[in-house]
Amino acid sequence: MVAVDQITAAVLLSQPAASEVGTIQQYLSCLRRSLVAEGISDDLYDALDKALGEDPDAAPGALRRGVWPVLRRRRSDRAPSLTVEEATRICDRFRRATTQLVQVVPYRVSWTPTEKLHLLRVLRGQRPNLRDPVEYVPYLRRYALAIVDVLDAMGDDT
């Protein structure tokens, strides 16, 4: 991220905004490429860990980069113990991640995993009852596994 001082920001904000479709599309393309360069944040991995349950082999506070540590949790039978606030926060994080992944994946893979992206969109549209763990725990696990599948398709450098 780049820091801009107040003088530079004032100059930039005083300039007229572009209204031509071609210019706006060019800006949008540049923003998407910058999202690709930023990669996937650690808070998404933390949310995936919470949704899929604890990993007994992970060191406490270990930095979880890459998809393989998360994939091990697919075999975990331990259900996560989440509060309503945690479940709400994780749902919101997964929905933001879905928006980012749908925009970034075409730039990160040689083929677009359309079925996986479609599943992410479907899961983003669902609204489970976050007051009922019987309903939201399986939903969060399905959503987390769908995100892990897309991250896996993107490769280990995410």
Question: What are the tens digits of pLDDT across the range 30-39?
Answer: 776 666 556 6
Task: Please name which of 152, 153, 7, 129 lies closest in space to residue 68, comparing C-alpha atoms.
Answer: 152
The amino acid at residue 118 is H
Q: Residue 21 burial by CB count (10 A; 0-12/13-18/19+): exposed, middle or buried?
A: exposed
CA distances from 16 to 21, 86, 140 (A): 15, 42, 44
Q: How far is CA 56 from the centre of its chain?
A: 24
Provide the pLDDT for residue 156: 57
Range with the lowest mean pLDDT among 19-33, 61-75, 76-90, 106-120? 61-75
pLDDT single digits (tens) 26-78: 877 777 666 655 667 788 888 888 888 754 444 444 434 444 454 444 444 55
Task: Report whether pLDDT(122) > 90.
Answer: yes
Closest CA relative to residue 124, chosen from 96, 151, 86, 104: 96
Structure tokens at 70: 């998360």
67 touches 90 (CB < 8 A): no
